[in-house]
Structure 1
Amino acid sequence: MLSHLTVLEQSASRYHSYPAFKILAPASTSNSPSWISITYQQFKDDVELFARHWARVLKRDNIPQRSIIGLWIGGFAYADALHIYGLSRAGYIPQLFSLRLPNPDVILELLSKSNARALVYDANSESIVGRSSIPLYPATSLSDLVVDDEPLPPMPSVQPEDLAFLFHTSGSTSGSPKLVPCSYRWLDSVVRKSNQTCLPVNLDPNAREVTTWLGSMCHIGQTFMLIGTLQHGASIVQPTKMPFSSQELMDMIHLTGLNRLYQFAAFLSVHLRASRKDPKLLSMLAGLDQILTCGMPLSREDEQWAIRNNLRLVNLFGSTEAGGATLLSSYECGSNPSLLFPLKGVSYRFEPIQPSAADEDLHQSTGRLLEFVILADSADCPDVSLRHADGNFHTGDLFQEVSPGCYVFCGRDDDWIKSENSLRCDTRSIEENVRSTCGNLVSECIVVGTGRPCPAMFIEPAVEMDENKLKKEILRKIRPFHSRRYMHERIASVDMIIIVPRGSLPRTASKGNIRRKAVEDEYKARLDVIYGVSA
């Protein structure tokens, strides 16, 4: 079986002197960034150093190999990658949490559900960790490691169905994310799919490709892309922050040789908007060998701008449960980056669905809608705890087949939306909470925020009340519910509550349901102002 550790072992042997990471130099700032290189061999050595550290610490506290260890870290730093890979190499099972889930009570509940034996937490979170029934360890840095004479532990024997990682859904259900158990069979599929996704596009055998961080290592997207990057001897550049500015992108292209940009669609849109006014940025984007976007489709305006200006755009479709990537755009389907085809070595099916009122919101008046289903015999089919009664994984993602084997994404058959960093948000649960806690104040509500940093809520009031007072009262009543959610799922400010006249929100013709997509379109200019989006 292939895994992230076998990839590291093979790549360190094959590309030992090439840079695997370009990390920020100590004095770097967003105004004056500079980078230093970490070779493949150094990365492997550092992983083994962290493995020896965690073997010593956890053995001292009688925590045996194959125990689940929680990691609550940012996921954007080189040391974060070392903690994740180091714990795996020490023979443990990482359960990954990003700092976007800031509620320690939810973290501890999820650790309890998985029977985790310990938690490693970001040192900056020490004040909110609180008391726990399991050992708590602050994440350490390379310079602070003490391994004494601890030997590198032997890897325990594992079977294909044994647990390799625990991720979590990127949106909350019933007050917290769901566990996503990941087996070695599933991880082997991740290795094979990421190999396809990250195949070199620069065919010069002497060229070394350079890409940038996609997101947090605590979510599947960056884990997937790092595994793919390592297989082909490419390197990954650490930005000063996420998302990074267009100026920093140009610095990375100029100073590090960045030639392959991986970005969530909402972040890429910022650079595309800037390129309309900055010919130098546009020229540098056009000079990239590939711009891979994911998370959600680009707007048609952005996509057409990219095509007109010869940007080498590729679209990736995937999910946490399915191991990061499932469908990819390709010239096999023509030059349209919206057209997707399944990766090789998988077993998928596109099943017709019954038309519903949701179709109106998706603006699908023609063409048959198909639900994307991952079959049970596909190696990337998620854990049985996440599957449908028929044994398959029904994604809820809808497509149309526009030519044999080529598909275009048409939205979802539920009320989930994706934020700007591709993490999911259950809008219906937010709306139901408002109705249950604010029923005397609210006549109707709808939550929007596709491609935005956080959700916003439109309210048709049930009472005559000063608008600011109404917003504050609603926020007060919903605060306990939102305190348990990811940062990208929270309505945490009165600015994200928009009061509109009763009956004014667009509705479906058949049942009178408020149309989420139509609200986002009709109020786009107002939402842009609220979110601080420049024209």
Structure 2
Amino acid sequence: MAHTHTLKSHLSVLQTSASLYQTLPAFYVPQILSDSGDVESWEPVSYIQFLFHVELFARHWARVLKLDGIPQRSVIGMWLSGMTYIDVLHIYGLSRAGYIPQLFSIRLPNPDVVCELLIKAKARALLVDPSFESILKGCPVPTHRAAMTIYDIDSHEAPLPSLPTLRESDIVFVFHTSGSTSGTPKLVPCSLSWLDSAVTKSYQIAKPSGQTERNQDVTVWMGSMCHIAQTFMFLGSLQHGACTVQPSKQAFSSHELSLMIRDCGLNRINQFATFLTHHLRNSRQNPRLLALLQSLDDVLYSGLALPQEEEKWAHGNGIKLRNLFGSTECGAMLLSTRGSEDTATLLQPLKGMSYAFFPIASQSAAESPQTEQHCNTTLLELVILKESPDCPDGSLRAADGHFHTGDLFQEVRPGYYLSKGRDDDWIKSENSLRCDTKAIEDNVRATCGDLVTECVVVGNGRPSPALFIETNSEMPQPKLKREVLRRTRQFHSRRYLHERITSVDLIVIVEKGSLPRTATKGNVRRRATEEAFRTLLDKIYGTEWTGAS
């Protein structure tokens, strides 16, 4: 077992890297044109400046929270976008002040749910983005407005607090599952030893490829620092002295990607598959964009599988793809290797961890067609063994002490795995956050049983779910849709943005018996429904959502 003094954290990594890479840029921060919202240019922030700013924010929050009588090692909620340099300073600064950040994404906009989760985590205060202040009423803890610029912080003279000594089991972060269970996300407490494993794993993933003579890798924001993906990837970038470019938004355009490559020296990107797909499709009609994608040392995607056609085209055109598989509870777990097209789609466990692949009881969960590869068709569930350094908190483990991910794989060759979806009713949204479809369906049946004879929720890789309904009702379709929306409104108000059905455009009425069903039990087949109505779904999301796939 590791000794406490050997365990690494985000703070120790920052301290080391600020010493090793003092003058190299840690960030490129965008200067946004106020009229258009486009990026005019990017300004560098060096590693030593970053450390100075983190300590400035640490002085600020130590002083503010001390005035509230809140001791170090208390949980402090943070409701932020997580997409800006200032957000990183708040998160790292609060940690450096000796507190435990509980991170809420702006994709969870319901203040009631936030307040409930604060109570569950025994939080003592909440730092809130100004955009949420107006809806935050009746908060059970003191609230403080998060500064929007460095110039809002005036704590240069305040003392920098000493960090408390931590044991490996001490909690250092509280995240939340990316989908709701029973109307609310679950707490995901992360201990010091778990964070140390994240440092180890992210080091492997962010290691420079060595394919070009570069002074420094330059990568880009993957998502919100309030979620595990970007927190994890940033740990890797920090360890290798890489620079992180802040884009104007998560789903940045291919034009902005070109600017980041030209103006910031971007040489590797990590994106969720849905967003990367847009660049790949655009590059088919844009030889200059294709050449830029080909020039990148690493194109890492995660969250969902790339469409098979896009993946094959990218490999055939020399784009250096890698696939990373992970979750909120564990961080990254499996990674594909660069090389030939067949191995680039296959995943291997990261080094230093203890995983198992257990055959599932029922082999009927895989609705997807078999691959062309000759592989063992037995479905295996990825299980994080209790002795693995990245096994999540005990509150999230099964009765056997292990963490059962619910993610299914086939072993194509010894030690190489192909993802086959999940052994449950969860789907992943456009930005790879999870959504419990069965919970939505159960709510529809409970509230609309007189109107709905059968229903199914789909939307894998889409911005939000869509509801398909079979009905016996004589009610006109537009009225029926509005009534279903009205009856289910309260249920959806408590969920993340990516889990909600809030528009009649996302409700589809079909003829009774027309939804695809299993031959044996007659259950509606979710994936088959998604495939059968793909053209309709493309049209729905194409008109409803900007930039949807």
Q: What interval of TM-score do these two structures reach, taking the shorter chain for normalisation?
A: over 0.9
Matched, 1:314 2:322: yes
Q: Structure 2: where are the runs of 5+ without partners?
A: 1-6
Q: Structure 1: where are the runs of 5+ without partners?
A: none
Shift of 1:207: 2.4
Shift of 1:273: 1.3
Which of 264, 287, 293 is the equivalent residue of 1:279? 287
Report the residue type matching 2:44 in the other structure. Answer: S
Shift of 1:337: 2.2
Residues in 2 aligned to 1:210 and 1:534: alpha-carbon distance in whole angstroms: 27
Checking the alignment, whether the CA contact within 8 Å between 1:75 and 1:217 is kept in structure 2 is yes
Q: 2:155 corresponds to which residue?
A: 147
Checking the alignment, whether the CA contact within 8 Å between 1:333 and 1:341 is kept in structure 2 is no
Checking the alignment, whether the CA contact within 8 Å between 1:119 and 1:137 is kept in structure 2 is yes
Residues in 2 aligned to 1:146 and 1:236: alpha-carbon distance in whole angstroms: 26
Checking the alignment, whether the CA contact within 8 Å between 2:104 and 2:175 is kept in structure 1 is yes
Matched, 1:417 2:427: yes
Which of 406, 417, 434 is the equivalent residue of 1:396? 406
After superposition, the Cα gap between the structure-2 partners of 1:203 and 1:458, relative to the gap in structure 1 and judged at 3 Å, is same
Shift of 1:461: 1.2
Q: 1:120 corresponds to which residue?
A: 127
Counting only pairs closer than 5 Å after superposition, residues 84-483 of structure 1 correspond to structure 2 as 84-140=91-147, 141-147=149-155, 149-204=157-212, 206-322=214-330, 324-331=331-338, 335-359=342-366, 361-363=367-369, 367-483=377-493
Q: Secondary structure at the match of 1:318?
A: strand
Checking the alignment, whether the CA contact within 8 Å between 1:246 and 1:271 is kept in structure 2 is yes
Which of 25, 48, 53 is the equivalent residue of 1:46? 53
Residues in 1 aligned to 2:441 and 2:283: alpha-carbon distance in whole angstroms: 37
Checking the alignment, whether the CA contact within 8 Å between 1:76 and 1:216 is kept in structure 2 is yes
After superposition, the Cα gap between the structure-2 partners of 1:79 and 1:347, relative to the gap in structure 1 and judged at 3 Å, is same
Checking the alignment, whether the CA contact within 8 Å between 2:83 and 2:221 is kept in structure 1 is yes
Residues in 2 aligned to 1:35 and 1:397: alpha-carbon distance in whole angstroms: 39
1:393-418 Cα deviation digits (max 9, x unpaired): 00000001111101000111000000
Q: Secondary structure at the match of 2:235?
A: helix
Which of 515, 523, 527 is the equivalent residue of 2:525? 515
Instruction: Select between 41-50 and 301-310 the one with higher mean Cα deviation.
Output: 301-310
RMSD: 1.5
Shift of 1:296: 1.0
Q: Secondary structure at the match of 2:441?
A: helix
Shift of 1:129: 0.9
Report the residue type matching 1:97 in the other structure. Answer: F
Q: 1:11 corresponds to which residue?
A: 17
Q: Secondary structure at the match of 2:190?
A: strand
Residues in 2 aligned to 1:241 and 1:272: alpha-carbon distance in whole angstroms: 18
1:63-107 Cα deviation digits (max 9, x unpaired): 000000000000000000000000000000000001000000000
Shift of 1:147: 1.2
Shift of 1:511: 1.1
Checking the alignment, whether the CA contact within 8 Å between 2:167 and 2:192 is kept in structure 1 is yes
Report the residue type matching 2:498 in the other structure. Answer: H
Residues in 2 aligned to 1:33 and 1:376: alpha-carbon distance in whole angstroms: 49
Residues in 1 aligned to 2:548 and 2:194: alpha-carbon distance in whole angstroms: 42
1:166-216 Cα deviation digits (max 9, x unpaired): 000000000110000100000000000000010001355642111110000
Checking the alignment, whether the CA contact within 8 Å between 2:427 and 2:435 is kept in structure 1 is yes
Q: Secondary structure at the match of 2:327?
A: coil
Checking the alignment, whether the CA contact within 8 Å between 2:458 and 2:466 is kept in structure 1 is yes
Checking the alignment, whether the CA contact within 8 Å between 1:444 and 1:461 is kept in structure 2 is yes
Q: 2:3 corresponds to which residue?
A: none
Residues in 2 aligned to 1:321 and 1:17: alpha-carbon distance in whole angstroms: 35
Checking the alignment, whether the CA contact within 8 Å between 2:541 and 2:548 is kept in structure 1 is no
Residues in 2 aligned to 1:382 and 1:255: alpha-carbon distance in whole angstroms: 40
Residues in 2 aligned to 1:107 and 1:42: alpha-carbon distance in whole angstroms: 33
Scaled by the length of structure 2, what TM-score is found?
A: 0.95
Scaled by the length of structure 1, what TM-score is found?
A: 0.97
Checking the alignment, whether the CA contact within 8 Å between 1:168 and 1:179 is kept in structure 2 is yes
After superposition, the Cα gap between the structure-2 partners of 1:357 and 1:400, relative to the gap in structure 1 and judged at 3 Å, is closer
Report the residue type matching 1:234 in the other structure. Answer: A
Checking the alignment, whether the CA contact within 8 Å between 1:264 and 1:422 is kept in structure 2 is yes
Checking the alignment, whether the CA contact within 8 Å between 1:74 and 1:99 is kept in structure 2 is yes
Q: 2:43 corresponds to which residue?
A: 36
Residues in 1 aligned to 2:323 and 2:238: alpha-carbon distance in whole angstroms: 21
Report the residue type matching 1:515 in the other structure. Answer: R
Checking the alignment, whether the CA contact within 8 Å between 1:202 and 1:209 is kept in structure 2 is no
1:353-401 Cα deviation digits (max 9, x unpaired): 1234423x23459711110000000010000100011000000000011
After superposition, the Cα gap between the structure-2 partners of 1:280 and 1:203, relative to the gap in structure 1 and judged at 3 Å, is closer
Aligned-residue sequence identity (percent) comes to 58
Q: 1:485 corresponds to which residue?
A: 495
Shift of 1:331: 4.1
Checking the alignment, whether the CA contact within 8 Å between 1:197 and 1:228 is kept in structure 2 is yes
Report the residue type matching 2:26 in the other structure. Answer: A
Q: 2:28 corresponds to which residue?
A: 22
After superposition, the Cα gap between the structure-2 partners of 1:145 and 1:331, relative to the gap in structure 1 and judged at 3 Å, is closer
Report the residue type matching 2:13 in the other structure. Answer: V
Q: Secondary structure at the match of 1:446?
A: strand
Q: Secondary structure at the match of 1:116?
A: coil
Q: Secondary structure at the match of 1:276?
A: helix
Residues in 2 aligned to 1:197 and 1:148: alpha-carbon distance in whole angstroms: 36
Shift of 1:32: 4.7
Shift of 1:35: 0.2
Shift of 1:271: 1.0
Q: Secondary structure at the match of 2:453?
A: strand
Shift of 1:336: 3.2
Shift of 1:308: 1.1
Shift of 1:149: 2.3
Q: Secondary structure at the match of 1:25?
A: strand
Checking the alignment, whether the CA contact within 8 Å between 2:169 and 2:193 is kept in structure 1 is yes
Residues in 1 aligned to 2:211 and 2:314: alpha-carbon distance in whole angstroms: 23
Q: 2:508 corresponds to which residue?
A: 498
Checking the alignment, whether the CA contact within 8 Å between 2:75 and 2:123 is kept in structure 1 is yes
Residues in 2 aligned to 1:149 and 1:476: alpha-carbon distance in whole angstroms: 55
1:10-34 Cα deviation digits (max 9, x unpaired): 0000001000000012547554531
Checking the alignment, whether the CA contact within 8 Å between 1:357 and 1:510 is kept in structure 2 is no
Q: Secondary structure at the match of 1:35?
A: strand
Residues in 1 aligned to 2:401 and 2:364: alpha-carbon distance in whole angstroms: 27
Report the residue type matching 2:501 in the other structure. Answer: I
